[in-house]
Amino acid sequence: MDLSIIIVSYNVKTYLDQCLHSVERAVKNINAEVIVVDNCSGDNTEKHVRKEFPWVQFIENSENLGFGKANNIGARQSSGSHILYLNPDTVVPEDNFEIALKQFNHHEKLGSLGCRMIDGKGDYLPESKRGFPTPSVALYRLFGLAKMFPKSKKWAGYYMGHIEETVDAEVEIQCGAWMMLSRDALTKSGGFDEDFFMYGEDIDLSHRISKLGFKNRYFSQSPVIHYKGESTKHASWVYVKNFHEAMAIFAHKHFTSGAKAYSSMIKIGIYAKASSAVIKRWMSFIRPIALTAVGGFFLANEFTDYWELNQRYPNGGEYPIIYRQIIIPAYLIIWILSMIISGAYSLKTSILRYISGFLISTIILLSVYALLPLELRFSRILILISSVLFFISFLFVKTATKTKLKYGLFKLFDDTIAHVDRDDKRSLPVTSNYDIRMEEVLTNRDLLKPNEIHFYPNNSSFKKIIDTMILLRDNNLRFRMIYPFWTLGSDDYQISSELSTAALSKPSVRRTKGILSVIISLAVIVFFLILILFPRGRLAIKNLPAVIRGKKTWVSYNGISSDALPPLKQGVFSHTHLVQDKEFQKFSNNRYAHHWRPEFDIYALFNGAI
């Protein structure tokens, strides 16, 4: 047996599926075995792997044993002369394993091998090659000196910045996402130290292999994709705790003197970094909300003065002081909360989300107005105009704070998506979508300049896909892998992708859908006399009691839903028109579940099937 590939998984079924498909192609010309060790996932990983990949040896743990211990379980079951520890959120090109194994023949005493890695945007991942984290090296990285001097052998020693991305070289530390060992190095080192639960175990193993007289090398000829989300972890206290515990174990194990000082310095550094990330994240969220509130109140107050003087009380008089001091701020708070729920304040969102958020927020204000006592109902015109002014303030703040708007404000109406090697002969649903061959992309003959590229791995080699991502890495593109039941991708190596997770599976999204359902119910009650004049309105009124009791939901799937999709109750309206084409039903339901937004349900109320 030439190679044993060990993959530890935990609740990453979709990424594991993609990884195994790429592995299946890469082992075609070598004698290899694949062992998946699952740390008690709750997403039906075992059922999926046993059904779709019967050639995989599957080991199911009864609890989450951590990265190192699970890998050691797999290693004990392996029989290959070389062992590859591989993350489930990776994609390997077809020639990756063959080239890697040749490295062991070409380099004497090679104990471990690391691989060049890129993220979901094609950008190079610097952890592909690392130096030994001495106290000084670790602190240079934690305090930003490595970023300031990325090519320095001294300051950027953590990522060995003096070694170019495309140059093979000896390194000190490997990354556990893709780490190949000789059987001799594995046997003598004993594998991962199980005292490490997560983080640091790859550093420890690489160092012990080096101390045994083996070499650690980095090779660049066959890069792999590694989707990851380190930023979200770095901004959480759970990451800080786990990483500090790992570094404390490492310090006590490898530094005979100064271990406590090293541990304390690392602790200070990572807490400072995490605190900065948390504060920055919250400020980026709170700032536009606060500025919208200030601007919105000013505009609404100024318009109230105008309306009061010229329309409502032209001969003298004024609105009661409660209107300015309580009612306007209350309306503004309700409006902003509605915009937040609609997702309009997301860092990356769309114009459609803005518009739908504005409509929802305005409907809520009108509904609240209708429920107020008569003495507090001052003017519907003021409500409508104030809502428009709040929206103007919102747009001004979004523009002034340079919020990322998915590649520009106006391009969102016409996002251009290039579909590479799509095998479906049916026409694409939107005019801004177009088909193109991989060769045209690689030879730079694609003149339409898309915002997004969709790859279809069933029709293209992973090697060509990876080469294309690297070639286009500076073009600020989004890359997506399109599969029958999910879409995978990541727009930033610092932010893990959630594209594989159906939006309606996320508690926050389900809460938003539930709140929207309550809003729709309130609107049905408030506008009862108007709705009764229309067939769709009468249907909504008829089903209102069932929705309130939780027996139905306002908008649900088109036809019969799949077990693979999040469950929804029977809908009063379907999110799209009913058709007999089962493939279209499957596609549309999948799109609805994975990409749900409030505007989907709003559209369905007026256009969905009954």
For the stretch 571-592, what's the b/e string if a residue is b when 16 or more beta carbons lie within 10 angstroms of its beta carbon? Answer: bbbbbbeeeeeeeebbebbbbb
**Cα(479)–Cα(496) distance, integer angstroms:** 13
* pLDDT above 60: residue 590: yes
Range among 230-244, 286-300, 374-388, 557-571 rated most confident: 286-300
**Cα(452)–Cα(499) distance, integer angstroms:** 14
* pLDDT above 90: residue 103: yes
Closest CA to 173 of 212, 151, 200, 143: 200
- pLDDT at position 220 is 95
pLDDT band at 270 (very low <50, low <70, confident <90, very high): low
**Cα(93)–Cα(520) distance, integer angstroms:** 49
Q: Give φ, ψ of 417 to 5 degrees.
A: -120, 125
Q: What is the mean pLDDT of the chain?
A: 82
In the numeric block, the tokens 């045994």 are attached to 212
CB atoms within 10 A of CB 607: 13
- pLDDT at position 447 is 66
Least confident piece of the model among 182-186, 396-400, 470-474: 396-400
Strand partners, 218: 114, 169
Asked if residue 84 lies in contact with residue 35, where contact means CB atoms within 8 angstroms, the answer is no
Q: Which domains does the chain have, with CATH numbers?
A: 3-227 (3.90.550.10), 504-607 (no CATH)
> Of all residues in the chain, what percent carry a pLDDT higher than 70?
81
Which pLDDT tens digit goes with each residue over 148-178? 888 888 888 878 888 999 999 999 989 989 9
Closest CA to 600 of 575, 569, 568: 575
**Cα(220)–Cα(579) distance, integer angstroms:** 50
